[in-house]
Amino acid sequence: MSEPLKFADLIRALGRGKNGSRSLSREEAHFAMQEIWHQRETQAQLGALLMLMRVKEETAEELAGMAQAVRDELDTWDGQAMHIDWPAYAGKRRQPSWYVLAAKALAQGGYRVFMHGGGEHTAGRQYARQVCEALSIPIAASWQQAATLSQNHTMVYCPLASFAPSLSHIIDMKQELGLRSPVNTLVRNLNPTGADVTLQGMFHPSYKALHHDTANLLGDRLNIVLKGDSGEFEVRPDSNAVVRVNSPRHPDSLEVPKRLPQRAVRPDEPSLSLLQTTWAGESNPEYGIAAIQETMALVLMVADGLSLQNARNKALLLWQQRLLAD
């Protein structure tokens, strides 16, 4: 009979030096997250585990084990069945958060969106929460309220702190530790409501394979991984992209050609008012409209099993119809 797992054993496995250390198994990572969720580890143990994983770099097995533990611990989702899980943790540095307009247009077209985010501690960045507030997208104060809001709204934003406070605390530890932790990667694979389509955006291309493999291990069969603008799930329409896809109707890797002929001039900071006027039809920025519709098209392509061109056509139609439903 095997010995029960102990948190210190996991730290030992990760920290035995370049010849003796190893990654955690999926079972061990699941156990670690259960301990973290219930705050049964010490702060020293937590810091040691996170930084050792950060230095060696997390694996798909570790992320899948930890993500599954969170899914197991969360209260059952009692809201409407959600179509799209949209993590939004990076924040935008230059371009406005066009992805929020893409999500809102999809939601008004009948695709229920659960957006979640956190770690809003980098000065000068525009985060999903403030955009949702400006666009009258409901923000949940708790997991239960998110479920209730979903009964009458097709898009809900829920802060990580409202449904996974232990993870939110860890993300905020970046200020203390000086480094991001594996939890910054993990939260993009949570899919806490069990939505049909899962999305991951990131800044570093090397993480595309990691998120793709994690989604496969978790059984997320409709999944898109994108190197997005500033790390959010948002297409850059002035740049060619290669996305990783889990879908029975599409290849594992898909090239998305740019829609704009040349690189756009980047603004100095993201404008909130431009998002509002663009949604209202009062502004028509070429880059922004292209970013919105290309982002919508990627989601529709996988959600509905469409070709990219047919998805683009549908995205255009839903964008044009958005004001009728507002």
**How confident is the model over 160-191, as pLDDT tens digits?**
999 999 999 999 988 787 788 999 999 999 99
Say which range, 63-67, 144-148, 178-182, has the weakest mean pLDDT: 178-182
Q: 27: Cβ–Cβ under 8 A, 6 or more apart, which residues?
A: 5, 65
The pLDDT value given to residue 20: 86
Q: 60-73 vs 207-218: helix axis angle to the nearest 10?
A: 50
Q: Is 38 helix (H, G, I), strand (E, B) or coil?
A: coil
The pLDDT value given to residue 76: 95
What are the angstrom distances between the C-alpha of 24 and each of 9, 92, 295?
10, 33, 35
HSE, side-chain direction, 13 A CA sphere, residue 139: 15
Residue extents of the structural domains in the chain: 7-73, 84-325
The pLDDT value given to residue 100: 98
Q: Residue 264: how many CB atoms within 10 A of its CB?
A: 18
pLDDT over 80 at 1, yes or no:
no
- CATH number, domain 7-73, options 3.30.70.2740, 1.20.970.10, 3.30.70.20, 1.10.1040.10: 1.20.970.10
pLDDT over 90 at 125, yes or no:
yes
pLDDT over 90 at 2, yes or no:
no
The pLDDT value given to residue 123: 84
- Average pLDDT (104-114) is 98
The token pair that represents 274 in the structure block: 């431009």
What are the angstrom distances between the C-alpha of 323 and each of 154, 240, 290?
15, 30, 18
What are the angstrom distances between the C-alpha of 220 and each of 85, 123, 145, 275?
11, 34, 25, 31
The pLDDT value given to residue 174: 83
Question: For the residues of 44-87, what is the DSSP string, one character each?
Answer: HHHHHHHHHHHHH---HHHHHHHHHHHHHHSPPP-SPPPSEEEE
The pLDDT value given to residue 88: 98
More reliable by pLDDT, 89 or 20? 89
- Prediction pTM value: 0.96
The pLDDT value given to residue 323: 85
The label of the residue with tokens 């990654």 reads 23
- Average pLDDT (202-224) is 95
pLDDT over 70 at 55, yes or no:
yes
- Average pLDDT (262-284) is 95
pLDDT over 80 at 325, yes or no:
no
Are 235 and 256 within 8 A, CB to CB?
yes
For residue 16, the 8-state DSSP code is S
Say which range, 121-125, 218-222, 292-296, has the weakest mean pLDDT: 121-125
What are the angstrom distances between the C-alpha of 64 and each of 72, 195, 243?
12, 16, 20
Give CA–CA dist 231/292, Å, rounded.
15
Q: How many residues does the chain have?
A: 326
pLDDT over 80 at 326, yes or no:
no
- Average pLDDT (229-236) is 97
The pLDDT value given to residue 27: 97
pLDDT over 90 at 222, yes or no:
yes
The label of the residue with tokens 């999809």 reads 106
The pLDDT value given to residue 104: 98
The CATH number of 84-325 is 3.40.1030.10
Model confidence band, residue 119 (pLDDT cutoffs 50, 70, 90): confident
The pLDDT value given to residue 121: 80
Give CA–CA dist 72/81, Å, rounded.
18
The pLDDT value given to residue 175: 79
H helices within the chain, ranges in order? 7-14, 17-20, 26-37, 43-56, 60-73, 98-108, 128-134, 143-149, 160-163, 165-172, 174-177, 182-186, 207-218, 272-279, 286-304, 308-325
The pLDDT value given to residue 299: 98
The pLDDT value given to residue 201: 97
Average pLDDT, rounded, for the chain: 95
